[in-house]
Amino acid sequence: MLPRLQSPEPVRQLGRFLALAALLALAAPAAAQDTTSVVRLRATYEVGDLSGFVVLPFGGSDELEAAAAASSEIVRRDLDFSDQFKLAEATGARAGDAPNIALWRERGADWVLTGTLAPRAGGSTLRLTLVDAVYGQTKGEGSFDLPAASDRRFRMAVHAASDAVVRWATGEPGIAATRIAFVTQGRGSKEIYLVDSDGENVTRVTSDGSLALSPAWSPDGGRIAYTSYRAGMPALYERDLASGSDRVLSQREGLNITPSYAPDGRTVAFATTVAGNTEIATIGGGGGLQQHTRGRGYDNLSPTWSPDGRRVAFVSDRLGEPQIYVMALGGEPRLVSDYTYGRRAYSTSPDWSPVGPVIAYHTRVNGVMQVVAVSADGGRPRVLTDRFTNEDPSWAPDGRHVVFASPDREGGGLFVLDTVTGKVRKLVGGRGFGLPDWSGTLMRLGAGR
């Protein structure tokens, strides 16, 4: 039985508070045993009770029975993966039956979701109703047009409906209708793939037969910038995902690596060779190449944009080993990763949260790479992972979840961390996965309230 709460609202407020405290309250004492003076998050992962949530079997006509069952299961997994609810089994419930809200409340559910599928030309319409079982009130309802269950877009459309349910219940965006781009090691090559946020629908993007690296999503989700060595030297390309066509963004002599789209969707920051150094530059946005760093025998790379597009975080080895810096374009860089003179340090792969001034990156802790987070406005980093090797973090659009790569956790793969509860789930398993980048929301269905 799920824990009974007087109202789901205190739990929502607790989750928001803990997310903020876990990532931005940087005044706690440092963990003395760490080789870098980061502060652990373990205590803040004790979240307490989550709102109880039950998804009742979706109803539908005989020809839509399979689609209704598939939709119900997808929505249930999406809500579970949001890490904002405690999902209950809908024991004894039958598709199409009128819900007994009082009964489910007695069983500990704070939220009750019902759904039905009705046929339409080319697919079906999914009707969802979310009831706040504590107050006995409808919290949200809407109709969502889905393609046929055999259509490759079916799952993403259901994911978008799931995100609407999360928004009804919490007022915050869901992350189901998103994908993660990543790199897979092959035989003598590295190629780029995509996977849905729930680990399904793995799709190959490149077939270069060489090295394809550092995929980066455009804000609209329709393009990916990446580096490829297919022409012999590292050039920067942009892939249109709808057509499969590429265009060259930069093929300057030397390096053209680690791209990142600005929030405007037109400007791309990347690292390129200038006078023998690797520098941060931008292209697009109505102008030519603009250089933003001036190395003096050191390298700058891996830019990532702030949500307002006014600042970038990036990696520089100007102190001898890689560290994370933040600067306004045209301004002076400021060190934000932890550094003590004379002590070995290695911090790289920054990713700026899409919802606030928090940067995730990986750094060496007790000789092992771990994912940490730091305020872009100053403060001391906090450890997000503390077991196994964990690298290359990328934020989900909710600013709560992070995807990262690990070669030795559960046999290796890509994993998703909830920074509020500390829960980790495997996204894809196996060796040779790396450099993940989490998209923004890829589909919004315009129905419901």
pLDDT at 447: 55
- Residue 36: what pLDDT? 40
Work out the average pLDDT over 104-133. Answer: 96
The mean-pLDDT minimum among 4-13, 158-167, 228-237, 427-436 falls in 4-13
pLDDT surpasses 60 at 44: no
Q: Is 246 exposed, middle or buried (0-12, 13-18, 19+ CB in 10 A)?
A: middle
In percent, the amount of the chain with pLDDT more than 90 equals 80
Torsion sign (Cα): 81, 85, 88, 90: negative
Residue 26 has pLDDT above 70, yes or no: no
pLDDT at position 192 over 90: yes
Reduced to 3 states (helix: H, G, I; strand: E, B; else coil), residue 298 is coil
- pLDDT tier at 187 (50, 70, 90 boundaries)? confident
Which residue has better confidence, 48 or 173? Answer: 173
Q: Write out the two tokens for 125.
A: 């319409």
CATH 2.120.10.30 maps onto the chain at 181-438
**Whole-number pLDDT of residue 264:** 96
For residue 175, the tally of other CB atoms under 10 A from its CB is 28
Give Cα separations from 250 to 200, 229, 287, 288, 329 (angstroms).
Answer: 33, 12, 13, 11, 20
Kindly state the helix (H) or strand (E) to which residue 361 belongs, with its residue range: strand 358-365
Q: State the Cα–Cα distance between residues 83 and 174, nearest whole angstrom.
A: 10
pLDDT of 186 reads 87
Residue 25, pLDDT score:
43
| Per-residue pLDDT at 35 | 37
If one compares 10 and 107, the residue with the highest pLDDT of the two is: 107
Helix axes 65-81, 154-170, angle to 10 degrees: 50
pLDDT class of 343 with cuts at 50, 70, 90: confident
Q: What is the mean pLDDT of residues 166-189?
A: 95
The band of 446, judged by pLDDT with boundaries at 50, 70 and 90, is low
CA distances, 152 to each of 121, 146, 202, 302, 363 (Å): 17, 11, 11, 33, 38
Residue 332 DSSP class: -
- Cβ burial of 362 (10 Å; 0-12, 13-18, 19+) is buried
With CA atoms as reference, report the closest residue to 208 among 221, 194, 222, 227: 227
pLDDT category, 48, cuts 50, 70, 90?
low
Could you give the CA distance from residue 203 to residue 200 in angstroms, rounded to a whole number? 9
The residue-averaged pLDDT of 227-236 equals 96
What's the pTM value of the predicted model, to 2 decimals?
0.89
Nearest to 266 by CA among 206, 309, 227, 235: 309
In this predicted model, what pLDDT tens digit does every residue of 129-143 receive, in sequence order? Answer: 999 999 999 999 999
Does 34 score more than 90 pLDDT? no
Whether 10 shows a pLDDT value over 90: the answer reads no
- Which DSSP letter does residue 344 get? -
CA neighbours within 13 Å on the CB side: how many for 41? 30
Span 143-157, average pLDDT:
96
- CB count, 10 Å around CB of 226? 27
Q: Residue 20 has what pLDDT?
A: 39
- In this prediction, residue 33 has a pLDDT band, given cuts at 50, 70 and 90, of very low
Please provide the average confidence, as pLDDT, over all residues in the chain: 89
Inform me whether the pLDDT recorded for 330 exceeds 60: yes
Length of the chain: 449
pLDDT at 283 over 50: yes
**184 pLDDT higher than 50:** yes
Q: What are phi and psi of 252, to 5 degrees?
A: -60, 150
Rounded mean pLDDT, 62-72: 95
CATH C-level class of 51-170? alpha beta
Q: Is the pLDDT of residue 41 over 70?
A: no
- pLDDT for residue 14 is more than 80: no
Answer yes or no: is pLDDT of 16 > 50. Answer: no
CATH of domain 181-438: 2.120.10.30
> What digits encode the pLDDT tens for the residues 418-438?
999 999 999 999 999 999 999
Asked if the model's pLDDT at residue 31 lies above 50, the reply is no
Every domain range in the chain assigned CATH 3.40.50.10070: 51-170
- The confidence band for 29, taking pLDDT boundaries of 50, 70 and 90, is very low
- Name the band, by pLDDT with cuts 50, 70 and 90, for residue 88: very high
DSSP letter for 58, please: P
